[in-house]
């Protein structure tokens, strides 16, 4: 996207006055409405991320792309930002957790446990089922929402988002 483009004016012409809230915001970020109002879209957080999982999303706002890797919760994005749009890093980074979709290979009776192998907090477990391949489940209390399992899934059946039943964080 060329520098100097007024994204808010472009959105006005497209009939969209605000940017869509991303499925996953940056760790420790404030509520989306406050974040979107104050973020300068400078890109400092993108370049500071050692995992390179932060990308320019809708409207030029930073968003997390777990297909590039996992969040290690290092706090570099927070430290790089000159605007007060983050909560203290002493708090939990977010309330997101992993969700396993219906197209998981195990649901189709194909043995795969790559997500379990990539899950450092051991939040993904496979339960044996008589006469079937083991099926995955997520321990919501143990899941950090880091996204390591997302990149490792060979069929893209894992997403990270708000816990079931919650509309927003």
Annotated binding site: 39, 42, 45, 49, 71, 74, 77, 81, 143, 146, 149, 153
* Bind-site residues for [4Fe-4S] cluster: 39, 42, 45, 49, 71, 74, 77, 81, 143, 146, 149, 153
Torsion of CA 140, 153, 157, 117, to 10 degrees: -30
Instruction: Give the Cα separation of 143 and 165 in Å (integer).
Output: 16
Residues 6+ apart with CB under 8 A from 165: none
Strand locations in 15-163, DSSP E? 54-56, 62-64, 97-100, 124-129, 132-138, 158-161
Instruction: Give the Cα separation of 25 and 83 in Å (integer).
Output: 16
């Amino acid at each position: 996207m060329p520098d100097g483009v007024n994204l808010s004016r472009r959105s006005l012409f497209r009939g969209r006055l605000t940017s869509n809230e991303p499925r996953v915001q940056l760790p420790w970020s404030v509520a989306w409405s406050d974040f979107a109002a104050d973020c300068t879209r400078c890109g400092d957080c993108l370049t500071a991320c050692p995992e390179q999982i932060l990308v320019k999303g809708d409207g030029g706002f930073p968003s997390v792309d777990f297909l590039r890797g996992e969040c290690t919760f290092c706090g570099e994005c927070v430290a790089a930002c000159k605007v007060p749009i983050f909560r203290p890093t002493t708090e939990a980074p977010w309330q997101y957790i992993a969700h396993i979709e219906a197209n998981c290979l195990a649901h189709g009776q194909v043995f795969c446990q790559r997500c379990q192998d990539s899950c450092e907090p051991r939040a993904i477990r496979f339960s044996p089922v008589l006469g079937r391949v083991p099926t995955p489940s997520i321990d919501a209390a143990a899941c950090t929402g880091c996204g390591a399992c997302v990149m490792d899934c060979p069929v893209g059946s894992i997403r990270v988002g708000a816990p079931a039943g919650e509309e927003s964080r």
